[in-house]
Amino acid sequence: MKWNKNFWIAYTLTIIIQLLICNYLNLSPYVMLSILPVAVLCIPLNFGTAFAMIIAFVSGCAVDFLADGIPGLNALALVPVAFTRKTLIQMIFGEELFVREDGFSVKRNGFPKVLLAIIIMQTLFLAVYIAADGAGMRPLWFDAARLAASLAAGTLASLLLIGILAPEDK
Amino acid sequence: MPKRNSTWPTVINAAIFLAMEIVALNMIAAGPSLQGLRISEAAHRFMGTVWGGTEAVKDYFSLRETNDSLMRENMLLHEKLLRYAAADSLADKAAETEGDFTFTPAKILKISNNKQHNFLIINRGSEDGITGQSGIISDKGVVGIIDAVGKRHSYALSLLNSGISISARIGMEGAVGPLVWDGERSDGALLKEIPLQYKYSPGDTVYTSGYSSIFPPDIPLGVAGEARIINGATNEIRIRLFQDFSTLRYVTVVTNNGRGAMEELIP
């Protein structure tokens, strides 16, 4: 296994950072800044999809109960990310990661592939989150604007974190 | 055989996925209700203690602003008191028509303003006589509605929450309709279901109607702006709220003591 040995420490830190973001960095009603999808994306591949979904559900609930105020919203949006994680990694990075039980990183797999994976996961998370949060009460243009602004902010934040969650080889 | 081995994990994963999504959807549907608070009381206590503690640091740096705001409010209350004293001396008081409301001052420990479901946590709970479905007001209008009550703190849904609707009226004797947050600006709201035949002028003040058992009547909320016709049947009027939620620190909890008796009349 070549995975980051400190992954779970980094993962816990990411949850704490997300709690702080939810409580202190409310930029605008159009921006929902979340770094949870990238944390789930980086869960080591030797852990199965069921385990990743449980971790995603628990992490989402933690943020819902300790910061966001709507129980179940983050959990609802994060579980699909965990469910599709392995398929997406296989499609973008190829089968060899699974054969070598190796993790991905910007240096090994290239920036465009990592960026694409982050964008897809962020989009999936935000689409579910915004649809459930608006619950049909908001006009489509508002949800679309929120998705675009949140995707941009979330992707940038995720790129900053990817170095910690999926570090380069030494 | 390998086919079978690769199918079962997928089926199990899909089943777990569906189960978790159903659980999460049920949690959202249940919302942060009173029953929900019992389940998450420890979490809410954590929120009140930790986030409330950090608010204390923030408070320290905004003491001057808070002091100015309190001074202004004190002055206005003093003026109001003098007016009431003058009116009282005229005798012939009108009969008391409002419900039996109790007013409890409270401090905001935590507030969110930039989400779609904003909330606030205040430092008053069941030990202070607060009950669920009590209203929260300030000197500039309605702030929210208590949703769940702990021993020493309460969790309230802010007016800036797409799940809240309050009964409001244009002018002192105008048409009544539900007022909801517009979901975009912290000072924007929509007054819905106003009959087309009702004429109003932009700039008219909007008040609480008193038709709900939560808020007393005639609390100024904001001013009316432009309107648009919905489905050719009613007007939807844009409202600019008086309350600036970003500077809110102190509020008053309004509890209707006659609420129970009123609800018993509803079949």
Q: What is the domain-level CATH number for residue A33?
A: 1.10.1760
Residues 6+ positions from B27 with CB-CB distance below 8 Å: A61, A64, A71, A72, A75
Per the model's pLDDT, the better-predicted residue between A125 and A104 turns out to be A125
Is B184 within 8 Å of A142 when comparing Cβ atoms?
yes
Confidence of residue B96 (pLDDT cuts 50, 70, 90): very low
User: What is the H or E stretch that residue B182 is in?
Assistant: none
Domain that holds residue A21: 2-165
Helices (H) and strands (E) in chain A, counts: 8, 0
Confidence of residue B33 (pLDDT cuts 50, 70, 90): very low
- Chain A residues inside the 8 Å CB shell of B7: none
The pLDDT score that the predictor gives to residue B90 is: 43
The pLDDT score that the predictor gives to residue B92 is: 40
CA separation for the pair A9, A27 (Å, rounded): 27
Report CA B154 to chain centroid distance, whole Å: 12
Report the percentage of chain A scoring pLDDT > 90. Answer: 48
Confidence of residue A52 (pLDDT cuts 50, 70, 90): very high
Is B115 within 8 Å of A75 when comparing Cβ atoms?
no
The pLDDT score that the predictor gives to residue A123 is: 96
CA separation for the pair B28, B34 (Å, rounded): 14
Report the percentage of chain B scoring pLDDT > 70. Answer: 73
The pLDDT score that the predictor gives to residue A159 is: 92
Indicate if the pLDDT at residue A103 is higher than 90. no
Confidence of residue A12 (pLDDT cuts 50, 70, 90): very high
Summarize the confidence of residues B89-107 as an average pLDDT. 59
Each residue's pLDDT tens digit, A27-40: 777 888 999 999 99
Per the model's pLDDT, the better-predicted residue between A167 and B208 turns out to be B208
Indicate if the pLDDT at residue B93 is higher than 50. no
Q: Into how many domains does chain A fold? A: 1
Is residue A144 one of the residues assigned to a domain?
A: yes
Residues 6+ positions from B178 with CB-CB distance below 8 Å: B165, B166, B167, B168, B191, B192, B193
Indicate if the pLDDT at residue B123 is higher than 50. yes
Residues B134 and B124 sit within 8 Å (Cβ to Cβ): no
Domain ranges for chain B, please list them: 8-97, 101-264
Is A29 within 8 Å of B115 when comparing Cβ atoms?
yes
Residues B148 and B36 sit within 8 Å (Cβ to Cβ): yes
Indicate if the pLDDT at residue B168 is higher than 70. yes
If phi > 0 it is left, if psi is from -120 to 50 it is alpha, else beta; for residue A120 that is alpha
Copy the structure tokens of residue B19.
């189960």
Among the listed residues B241, B64, B44, the one whose alpha carbon sits nearest the alpha carbon of residue B151: B44
Using CB atoms, which residue from A48, A53, A72 is nearest to B28? A72
pTM: 0.72
CA separation for the pair B147, B26 (Å, rounded): 18
Is B28 within 8 Å of A73 when comparing Cβ atoms?
yes
Q: Where are the alpha helices (DSSP H) in chain B?
A: 2-30, 34-39, 41-46, 52-61, 63-89, 259-265
Each residue's pLDDT tens digit, A109-138: 888 999 999 999 999 999 999 988 876 667
Is A49 within 8 Å of B9 when comparing Cβ atoms?
yes
Q: Which residues 9-28 of A are in CB contact (within 8 Å) with B?
A: 23, 26-28
CATH 2.40.10.340 fits B101-264, yes or no: yes
Q: Where are the alpha helices (DSSP H) in B48-187?
A: 52-61, 63-89
Residues 6+ positions from B159 with CB-CB distance below 8 Å: B141, B142, B143, B144, B166, B181, B189, B241, B243, B245
Indicate the SS3 state at residue B183. Answer: coil
Radius of gyration of chain B (CA): 23
Summarize the confidence of residues A70-95 as an average pLDDT. 91
* Residue from A19, A21, A49 whose CB has the most chain B CBs within 10 Å, to mutate: A49
Confidence of residue A157 (pLDDT cuts 50, 70, 90): very high
Indicate if the pLDDT at residue B40 is higher than 60. no
Indicate if the pLDDT at residue B86 is higher than 70. no
Is residue A170 one of the residues assigned to a domain?
A: no
Residue type, A113: K
Confidence of residue A100 (pLDDT cuts 50, 70, 90): confident
Question: Considering all CA atoms of chain B, what is the largest pairwise distance in Å, rounded to the nearest integer?
Answer: 96
Indicate the SS3 state at residue B86. Answer: helix
The pLDDT score that the predictor gives to residue A74 is: 92
Copy the structure tokens of residue B140.
């500039």
Copy the structure tokens of residue B85.
């004293």
Radius of gyration of chain A (CA): 15
CB atoms within 10 A of CB A101: 12
Size of interface A-B (CB pairs under 8 A): 98
